[in-house]
Structure 1
């Protein structure tokens, strides 16, 4: 007879085996819950990031958008149009910004030039102007410095001194050619294109005024100039700097490329000619005067090309198109020296001996001119 092993009594309260399967389902549910939470958080982060970019214009396109605002236009209608034109990306957010910041709910009628690179605050300031206001036409000559441009704008009451200084020295303009540059005193030197402009007198936004000049520079620094710079292995900053030197040194347009050639000859032969020795850079450092002194030529300044090798740290004035083109297409000559004549032309020389002879000729010409 086989041995009989009694079974252990069954515990009726024991959970069925399939409950393990429920526990696994619970883990999967928790994991799904976490995925959903993280997904929502990521989505909200993206929304906040894109919204902040739209409000503060961290990374947006640089282009001009002309907008005509009819009479009695509300912010709601304007927000929709700004969205449609691509100046902003979120019309509802712009409307909310206007409401929260307590700005007016109506906008002056008129024609406006806006830019997607402008933040919400700059857009609102620009929309305070209308074609119904008095306009003033200002000509910024080639070779004007930031200080001279500032004086011209203030003289014609285009905007307040405080707002203009803030725009010139602290406003973070978003143009590609300004990347890597930090706002500060004269950081826009050379990039405010000299031209004739029309502004709204006493009512124009300083940011809009400066942005109009920067936009003009971007248009004028065209493909031929960019191609010339690339062929020379020079950055835009180098080209604008060299162009500003040419603009301040040359008085006759047919000598622009010739003087640019002298500058490049010295830069490309730095062992023999370590110093550019350009008077205009010293003038920028000490202030413009008729005659530089020996002390001026020794002034401690990074812009003194008599004591500092190579190019100065940046432009010394706003060059026009001819100077920009000459800086990117210099004349291929063997000159290393030039000296000014009374009529604004220059005598060029390849050797120091020739240069000394030219200096004597120039001195005699100036002396003769002074007695006439």
Structure 2
């Protein structure tokens, strides 16, 4: 019995010692874990503080920082450049902010003055809604489409593409003659941006006023007397400007504007015999082009502007016509011509019958072949 007891006691002692060792080891592990968690928390807190300060500019140096955008770019693409310039400290965070908030807009090439005290939103606003005190003179040629005018603005670094699109396609201008065209949509200003020379300010915040100048110019040029004349012809302003845009794109010789207008009206007023205007310039517009040869497939393509398949006038103007074309649309030449075909020098051959038109087409084809041969020599 004693032996058994002693054995039992001796066997229990090692067990107790091992238990104490494990308990001590567990306490040490807990301490290490707590220290690690506290350390990570402190680091994350510091990172959060620094990042938040960068995003919101709670504590930042007050300084003017010249910043140059060499060519039109997206805001997110400028994050590293802004970081290097000292406008902000975490370019990658700025890029993430821009993408998450959906503010990755175009920035106009040019010089900007930024400040590290600007928060991220203020930096974005300064880059996208800038206004320059410098003016630029641009000339909108007669016959330019809205898309060509937009390209003219972009090529002259007047504004970014985003700003141009919003002004041209979304801004609801208040001119009376546009009321029937609302709501604002892509292409709704076609025909009403009057071709002229304009002195304008550069910058995204001024592009609406630039377009407004063109619309005001149209409003002044299209007089009450012109509207009365359109009413006498039983035509709306939109009809007149649409016809004028066709004339603008088709006529190249000064003495042919009124004559081509006469051909268009002869076909419109005799729709039973001529259900289709067959104006190539309108077909090109529907294809997103302004020039070039038309193939058989092009002439069969189903677009609203295909005057070979759609009856009557196209749904709206195909360009912004000048005063000469508008006057021709209001005062067409009285003639019997119902056909015309272009010659290499830009003039046209006119015909009263289909047979005469076929003869003119043959003459025109021979003239173009001869011109091509001379060019190749």
Q: Does 1:313 align with 2:311?
A: no
Which residue in the other structure is 1:325 paired with? 327
- Aligned-residue offset at 1:161: 1.9
Which residue in the other structure is 2:340 paired with? 338
What is the SS of the residue equivalent to 1:367?
A: helix
What is the SS of the residue equivalent to 1:314?
A: coil
Deviates more, 1:219-228 or 1:258-267: 219-228
CA shift digits 1:321-349 (9 cap, x unpaired): 00001001111111100000111010111
Do the aligned partners of 1:225 and 1:324 also contact (CA within 8 Å) in 2?
no
Tell me which protein shows more helix as a share of its residues: 2
Which residue in the other structure is 2:15 paired with? none
Do the aligned partners of 1:158 and 1:204 also contact (CA within 8 Å) in 2?
no
Q: Does 1:137 align with 2:118?
A: no
- Aligned-residue offset at 1:157: 1.5
Which residue in the other structure is 2:188 paired with? 187
* TM-score of the aligned structures, taking structure 2 as reference length: 0.63
Superposed CA RMSD = 1.6
Question: 2-side partners of 1:273 and 1:354: how far apart?
Answer: 16
CA shift digits 1:177-205 (9 cap, x unpaired): 11121210101011101111111123651
| CA radius of gyration, larger in | 2
What is the SS of the residue equivalent to 2:340?
A: strand
**Total equivalences in the alignment:** 244
What is the SS of the residue equivalent to 1:339?
A: strand
CA shift digits 1:258-288 (9 cap, x unpaired): 1011000000000000000010011001132
Q: Give the gaps of 5 or more residues in structure 1.
A: 1-126
Which residue in the other structure is 1:79 paired with? none
Which residue in the other structure is 2:282 paired with? 281
Question: 2-side partners of 1:335 and 1:225: how far apart?
Answer: 25
- Aligned-residue offset at 1:223: 3.6
Question: 2-side partners of 1:152 and 1:254: how far apart?
Answer: 29
Which residue in the other structure is 2:228 paired with? 227
Question: 2-side partners of 1:275 and 1:178: how far apart?
Answer: 28
- Aligned-residue offset at 1:224: 4.0
Do the aligned partners of 2:338 and 2:353 also contact (CA within 8 Å) in 1?
yes
- Aligned-residue offset at 1:129: 5.5
Question: 1-side partners of 2:160 and 2:286: how far apart?
Answer: 27
CA shift digits 1:68-95 (9 cap, x unpaired): xxxxxxxxxxxxxxxxxxxxxxxxxxxx
Q: Does 1:243 align with 2:225?
A: no
CA shift digits 1:76-129 (9 cap, x unpaired): xxxxxxxxxxxxxxxxxxxxxxxxxxxxxxxxxxxxxxxxxxxxxxxxxxx985
Question: 2-side partners of 1:180 and 1:344: how far apart?
Answer: 36
Question: 1-side partners of 2:197 and 2:130: how far apart?
Answer: 23
CA shift digits 1:131-155 (9 cap, x unpaired): xx22111111111111100000111
Which residue in the other structure is 1:210 paired with? 211
What is the SS of the residue equivalent to 2:136?
A: strand
Q: Does 1:267 align with 2:268?
A: yes
Do the aligned partners of 2:157 and 2:202 also contact (CA within 8 Å) in 1?
yes
What is the SS of the residue equivalent to 2:296?
A: coil
Do the aligned partners of 1:156 and 1:201 also contact (CA within 8 Å) in 2?
no
What is the SS of the residue equivalent to 2:326?
A: helix
What is the SS of the residue equivalent to 2:278?
A: coil
What is the SS of the residue equivalent to 1:194?
A: coil
* TM-score of the aligned structures, taking structure 1 as reference length: 0.64
What is the SS of the residue equivalent to 1:187?
A: coil
Q: Does 1:303 align with 2:297?
A: no
Q: Give the gaps of 5 or more residues in structure 2.
A: 1-128
Which residue in the other structure is 2:163 paired with? 163
Which residue in the other structure is 2:175 paired with? 175
Which residue in the other structure is 2:146 paired with? 146
Question: 1-side partners of 2:288 and 2:186: how far apart?
Answer: 16
Which residue in the other structure is 1:33 paired with? none
Which residue in the other structure is 2:256 paired with? 255
Do the aligned partners of 2:268 and 2:274 also contact (CA within 8 Å) in 1?
yes
- Aligned-residue offset at 1:231: 2.0
Question: 2-side partners of 1:162 and 1:284: how far apart?
Answer: 23
